[in-house]
Structure 1
Amino acid sequence: MTISMNKRFCLVTGATSGLGEATARGLAALGAHVILACRDVKKGLVIADSIKMTTGNRNIDILQVDLASLASIRCAAQEFREKYDKLHVLVNCAAVIHSERILTGDGFESMMAVNHLAPFLLTHLLLDVLKNSAPSRIINYTSAVQEELDFDDLMSSNNFSRKMYGRTKMANVLFTYELSHRLEGSGVTVNCLHPGVVRTRLGRDMTGMLKLVITLMLPFFLSAAKGAETAVYLASSAEVEGVTGKYYTKKKAVASSQASYDEAVMRRLWEASEKLVNIN
């Protein structure tokens, strides 16, 4: 059973392609007021117009943000707060994957910056709006690929490997669980999901054998619309009203990796993240 999404405000990151776009379309089709968080405004406007045309929902807006920049995230959060006084659903979807170490302008490894620190900071900056809009929901995209974190080298400055992506996805799960503890009794729920293996532009910058394998396997991957079904379900289903701190796949709560349940690691990541994004 789906709750009414009319007059419910939903912010979706990574909304100009892949899973983010598909999630935004799914929410718009249910009648939600959807804000597309995107770096490229021109592309965002094209996607917004397309969603309006296909769903008949005119309440589709754009919020410009570069998730690789802490300053841009802070500006976007401020702009959101000035424009809207409600936020019922926040979907942290945007992610990147690289085969080499790339630094952001803030000096962070790009995957850790975009995949973890960006949703950590954006969520923090919008928490009061979410609380004031309760009951509200936070939904974090993650992956079944979850690698244990190396707290001595979170930014992989000493030993970069392809495990870095999996570490950021572990961070998404740890963040979800710790945030759910901190939001108990607030009316704000937080859950994460693995969408399955989906045909998206994620991995477009990969090189070598891994890129070849991804290219060969693409025909067997899920469509973005199919992969987004669980996120739309978590945003709109009456069945998960009040459910928090869970990891979902195929609309079912399942167990995440064993290491993701270590509460000491959850707290350690939280504290490290606060310092990195300069939250006092």
Structure 2
Amino acid sequence: MGTSSSKPTAEKFDPKKDLVDLKGKVVIVTGGNKGIGFATVSALLRANAKVYLAARNEERAKAAIESLHNAGLGKGGDHSLGEVVWLKLDLGDPREAKKAAEEFLKLETRLDVLVNNAGDMHGDGRLGDDGVSSMQIVNYISPYVFTRTLLPLLKQTAAEPGSDVRIVNVASKVHAWIPAGVQYKELSDWNIQYSWRPFAHFLRYGTHIRSPPSILSGQPISPFPLIRLGNSKLAVVLWSRHLQAQLLASDPASPITVLAIHPGVVDTASHTMPFPGLMKWLFSFGTVPVDEGAHNSLFAAASKKIKEEPEQYRAGVYLLESPPGTITLPSAAAQDDKLGEDLIQTTEKFLKDIGV
């Protein structure tokens, strides 16, 4: 779907056998209290990592941690696999994302793996106080700020002998559903609405009409969120490729690997979408269990394959999930270096304007 030929890198992937030993390593997983994020945290703890479960809601985060403890995970010490710690992270505001990263920097002297998993699948398109849709803030801008703030520590860790530092950005195949002509030159380009006709988005055909927010009285509300999701995930893929290129340009031997991945179709949110009964039925076809839905994230975060063959993964690659670690090309727009440059420039200008 908008991708070129793919190259499977593994016939089968088993997180219980195919992850590197993460003892002594520090990992952050955003949105780690539920769904794919929780499954990712669980598997990384089994690999002996110290995992910061980054989430906004303290009650839900602590409930998730209690569940992990009850499974013999994350307590720390000799009688538990790994250690899990809650990190308060609110991606709804880039300022709060920066504060969370700064708090982490006070707690740790290394960061080996960052998994930007948290996201918003079903925002209604309303603009936030800073004039940008909440979906763009949560899915792209705040993770960008969180990562940018943590980057010096990631680089410091990467400078250690034998390091294997990775940044994993959970994207989606829907990044390829964005019509031709997408731009990121202006703030308003983040807030474009896309009309839809029935099933056009599932088939990726049909007429897509770009409607500026002003047509909807400044508060764009669309009945179907997947194209807005695609817009934000296109930004994630472009940013991932740009960041990898930037790291390699500054240090061709950079041991930091940046990967954008598609997790697969996992029914973790259909009940919150419009027409929940219909969505539940549609999502029942071809979905995978949540634990399996985390496999591509886990491959990107800690697979032995990437440690053994790092060069092929440091070309701004995009990983599909079947099987996990399948290297492919993203959409043509996601490979557009000029579009990526425009995105980063607009992002940095926006962040400067809001004081981040």
Matches within 5 A, 1:1-280: 1-58=18-75, 59-98=83-122, 100-134=124-158, 135-146=164-175, 147=178, 149-151=182-184, 152=186, 153-156=189-192, 157-158=213-214, 160=220, 161=222, 162=225, 163-184=227-248, 185=251, 186-201=254-269, 203-208=270-275, 211-220=276-285, 221-241=287-307, 242=310, 243-244=313-314, 245-250=316-321, 251=324, 252-278=326-352
CA distance in 1, matches of 2:123, 2:52: 31
Q: Deviations over 1:70-126 (max 9, x none)?
A: 221121111100011111000001111236222334332011000010111111000
SS at match of 1:183: helix
SS in 2 for 1:222: coil
236-245 or 12-21, larger mean C-alpha shift: 236-245
Deviation at 1:55, TM superposition (A): 4.3
CA contact (8 A) 1:13 1:92 kept: yes
How many Å separate the matches in 2 of 1:35 and 1:165? 26
Answer with 3-12 or 95-104: which moved more: 95-104
Distance in 2 (CA, whole Å) between partners of 1:131 and 1:265 is: 26
Q: Is the 8 A contact 2:271 2:277 kept in 1?
A: no
1:5 offset after TM fit, Å?
0.8
Counterpart-to-counterpart distance in 1, 2:331 and 2:72: 37
Cα distance in structure 1, aligned partners of 2:278 and 2:344: 35
Q: Output the amino acid matched with 1:274.
A: E
TM-score by length of 1: 0.92
Range with greater deviation from structure 2 (239-248 or 143-152): 143-152
What is the distance in 2 between the residues matched to 1:165 and 1:52? 34
SS in 2 for 1:154: helix
1:269 offset after TM fit, Å?
0.6
RMSD: 1.9
Q: Tell me how far apart the structure 2 counterparts of residues 96 and 204 of structure 1 sit (CA, whole Å).
A: 14
Measured in 2, the distance between the counterparts of 1:106 and 1:70 equals: 10
Structure 1 residues 248-257 or 85-94, which shifts more?
Answer: 248-257
Task: Give the gaps of 5 or more residues in structure 1.
Answer: none
User: Structure 1 residue 173: deviation in Å?
Assistant: 0.7
**8 Å contact kept, 2:26–2:49:** yes
Measure the CA separation in 2 of the matches of 1:6 and 1:181: 29
Query: How far apart are residue 236 of structure 1 and its match?
Result: 1.2
Structure 2: which 5+ runs fail to align? 1-17, 76-82, 159-163, 193-212
Counterpart of 1:249, as a letter, is L
What is the distance in 1 between the residues matched to 2:306 and 2:74? Answer: 25
| TM-superposition CA deviations, 1:119-169 (whole Å, max 9, x none) | 111110000011111131000001111125343521233465542111111
Amino acid paired to 2:346: A
* Secondary structure of residue in 2 paired with 1:34: strand
After TM superposition, give the deviation of residue 172 of structure 1 in Å: 1.0
Q: Distance in 2 between matches of 1:41 and 1:9?
A: 21
* Alignment partners' CA distance in 2, 1:2 and 1:222: 21
The 2-side partners of 1:128 and 1:99 are apart by 32
Instruction: Provide the identity percentage.
Output: 29
Moved more, 156-165 or 23-32: 156-165
In structure 1, how many angstroms separate the alpha carbons of the residues matched to 2:62 and 2:264? 28
